[in-house]
Amino acid sequence: MNNLEFEDCGGNIVSVDTTAYNTFKTKMNGSSFNRTTALAVGKEVGLTARAIRFGVLTENNRVGTGQYSMKPSLHTSDDVKPAPAVVKKPLIAAAPVVNVKPDTEIVNLVAKTMSESLIPDTFEGFVEWGHYKDVNKIVKSDVFYPIFITGLSGNGKTLMVEQTHAKLKKEMVRVNVTIETDEDDLLGGFRLINGETKFVPGPVIEAMEKGATLLLDEVDLGSNKLLCLQPVLEGKGVYLKKVNRWIRPAKGFNIIATANTKGKGSEDGRFIGTNVLNEAFLERFAICLEQPYADTKIEFKIIKGAMTKYGLDDDEFAQKLVDWADIIRKTFYDDGIDEVISTRRLDHIVKAHSIFGDKMKAIEMCVARFDNETRNAFLDLYTKIDSGVKLDNEESETPDTPEGDSTENPNE
């Protein structure tokens, strides 16, 4: 038997397979590791938990609190003779050794992080307006300064943040928050990768290590599980309990949150699913930027930019769409109606027009999401603004046939 012998706490002999023991030491290759890592790697090479406890996690191998280290050993099996004393390099499966490096992926049980660029794509036709300059200045400063951006749906909050990073060539990690978002989704967790269980860092860790911006989109849809971000929102590091690692943010890391509310819920019920966020969580955001819809001049430029993107050129149609949306919003703010036309919906209309080549059809299709009464009111209003278009039912109206009369030819 090619075994090593160790004593347990009671003086009993613990027999450990020499080949497995040396393979374990070779994998560690002098790197420090903790008990969790030792058990995982030991299982991989064929060592029992008892062998790890009394053959590896010993005082002789301890290098710190909860940390151990072992130098790689030479093979000593019957068919492989020990190397001469002058040879210092370990032999691995009798193959020539060339620059052996620690297998940190195995030692730390952490999967490799993403290497691709996280810089957002430039959006053709984007117009800089509102709080764009403020956000740009904060991001450009590389100062950790969490900001909360709130405003009605479809007014360009997220796009503004993305295009700030696109212009500055700065990486950004976007996380769309839901009621189900938890610590495992944000900080990371164990996943099965190529048959091995690895800890995969979450988007928060990716952003911290890259010095990128973490965008928490629709953050008011989240629950109290977001409180795992408290130390992160303070600009400090975060301790990953699952792998015993302390992660510190790189220079340039920041957090930006967007929401339709201010984290106090939606009183009018327009934004179903939004929650009242923890006050301590909200208090960690330095400033709150309220983003309204753009005024008519700015929105005209935005719609013209959308037309350029979709291959259209119609200043008159762009202006009428903007005027139409402006009237609807004013009525909405006066509590005259319960729905509003967002800038995003105007973009949808322009895109539909580029596909179907029919203005009124594009508008009808894009307002069909509203209830019938609201939809008809919106369509009727547009026909009053743009006298050059008519509703389909107006164009196809025919006189009613008198009761009892027949349109059939009596001679047939």
When the pLDDT of each residue in the chain is averaged and rounded to a whole number, the result is: 84
308 lies in the same domain as 220: no
Mean pLDDT of 331-338: 92
Q: How far apart are CA 365 and CA 352, in angstroms?
A: 8
Q: Among 270, 290, 310, which residue terminates a domain?
A: 290
Residue 240 domain flag: yes
245 lies in the same domain as 190: yes
Q: How far apart are CA 48 and CA 386, in angstroms?
A: 80
Q: Please tell me the least confidently modeled range out of 55-59, 74-78, 369-373.
A: 74-78
268 lies in the same domain as 141: yes
313 lies in the same domain as 256: no
pLDDT digits (tens, 9 = 90+) for 70-112: 876 544 444 333 434 434 344 334 444 444 444 444 344 666 6
238 lies in the same domain as 278: yes
277 lies in the same domain as 311: no
Closest CA to 144 of 257, 227, 256: 256
Q: How far apart are CA 388 and CA 395, in angstroms?
A: 12
Residue 183 domain flag: yes
Residue 10 domain flag: yes
Domain count, the chain: 3
Residue 365 domain flag: yes
249 lies in the same domain as 326: no
Higher pLDDT, 71 or 382: 382
Q: Please tell me the least confidently modeled range out of 14-18, 128-132, 223-227, 335-339.
A: 14-18
What pLDDT is attached to residue 387?
A: 85
Could you tell me if 256 and 250 are in contact, meaning their C-beta atoms sit under 8 angstroms apart?
no
Q: How far apart are CA 44 and CA 351, in angstroms?
A: 56
Residue 29 structural domain:
1-76
306 lies in the same domain as 262: no
Phi/psi-derived region of residue 220, left when phi > 0, alpha when psi is between -120 and 50, beta in every other case: alpha
208 lies in the same domain as 191: yes
Q: Among 44, 60, 76, which residue terminates a domain?
A: 76
Percent of the chain residues past pLDDT 90, beyond the cut: 59
284 lies in the same domain as 300: no
- Which CATH number belongs to the domain containing residue 252 in this structure? 3.40.50.300
- Whether 205 shows a pLDDT value over 80: the answer reads yes
225 lies in the same domain as 175: yes
182 lies in the same domain as 258: yes
Residue 86 domain flag: no
Residue 313 domain flag: yes
Residue 107 domain flag: no
Could you tell me if 273 and 179 are in contact, meaning their C-beta atoms sit under 8 angstroms apart?
yes
- Whether 189 shows a pLDDT value over 80: the answer reads yes
pLDDT digits (tens, 9 = 90+) for 116-145: 789 999 987 899 999 999 999 999 999 999
Q: Among 290, 305, 330, which residue terminates a domain?
A: 290
Residue 116 domain flag: no
Cα-based torsion angle of the residue sequence 152, 154, 157, 163 in order, rounded to the nearest 10 degrees: -170
pLDDT digits (tens, 9 = 90+) for 210-264: 999 999 999 999 999 999 999 999 999 999 999 999 999 999 999 999 999 999 9
Cα-based torsion angle of the residue sequence 138, 139, 140, 143 in order, rounded to the nearest 10 degrees: 70
Mean pLDDT of 137-163: 96
